[in-house]
């Protein structure tokens, strides 16, 4: 049985080559004002507003140091690490869906943490939904 054309088009429109956004938020002026619960909540809220569907979350606060927060998403995953001693936040957002607008989440988090500098690397990955075309069958 073949899938209806509307289902195929919807699937094609929501699938993009997987991409990882690796982000450094530097000189975060508001980082020390936020406790781990507030940081986790802000990360989740930014992801949701950017279209993510959160399936599971796990956070760990390091004694006298930072926080690592992992969200498993329907679209893939997102990870945040804080370094309060240097005012740095590292974020990785991996997605293969157009539903998740990663750059919107990054911009919101830049504002939340008051980052004076931002670096973003976009790294493409092979699409696991299709067979690689390496001349093999």
Give the model's confidence band at 40: pLDDT under 50 very low, under 70 low, under 90 confident, else very high. very high
Tokens 């507030």 sit on residue:
38
Domains of the chain as residue ranges with CATH = 16-124 (3.60.90.10)
Backbone dihedral region for residue 27 (phi beyond 0: left; psi -120 to 50: alpha; all else: beta): left
Q: 13-25 pLDDT, tens per residue?
A: 445 678 899 999 9
* Active site positions, annotated: 76, 81, 96
Candidates 126, 115, 108; CA nearest to 43 is 108
Q: 48-68 pLDDT, tens per residue?
A: 999 999 999 999 999 878 999
How high is the pLDDT of residue 46?
98
Residue 2 per-residue DSSP state: P
How high is the pLDDT of residue 14?
47
pLDDT, mean of residues 89-94 = 97
How high is the pLDDT of residue 132?
58
How high is the pLDDT of residue 126?
72
| 3 state SS of 113 | helix
Candidates 120, 113, 119, 60; CA nearest to 87 is 113
Beta bridge partners of 20: 94, 123
- At 106, give phi and psi (nearest 5°): -65, -45
């Amino acid at each position: 049985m073949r899938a209806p054309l509307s289902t195929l088009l919807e699937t094609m429109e929501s699938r993009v080559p997987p991409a990882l956004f690796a982000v450094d938020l530097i000189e975060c002026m508001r980082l020390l004002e936020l406790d781990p619960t507030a940081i986790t909540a802000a990360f989740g809220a930014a992801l949701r507003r950017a279209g993510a569907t959160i399936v599971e979350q796990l956070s760990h606060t390091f004694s006298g140091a930072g926080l690592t927060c992992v969200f498993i998403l329907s679209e893939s995953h997102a990870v945040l690490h804080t370094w309060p001693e240097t005012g740095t936040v590292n974020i990785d957002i991996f997605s293969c869906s157009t539903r998740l607008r990663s750059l919107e989440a990054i911009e919101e988090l830049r504002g939340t943490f008051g980052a004076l500098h931002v670096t973003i690397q976009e790294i493409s990955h092979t699409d696991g939904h299709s067979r690689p075309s390496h001349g093999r069958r």
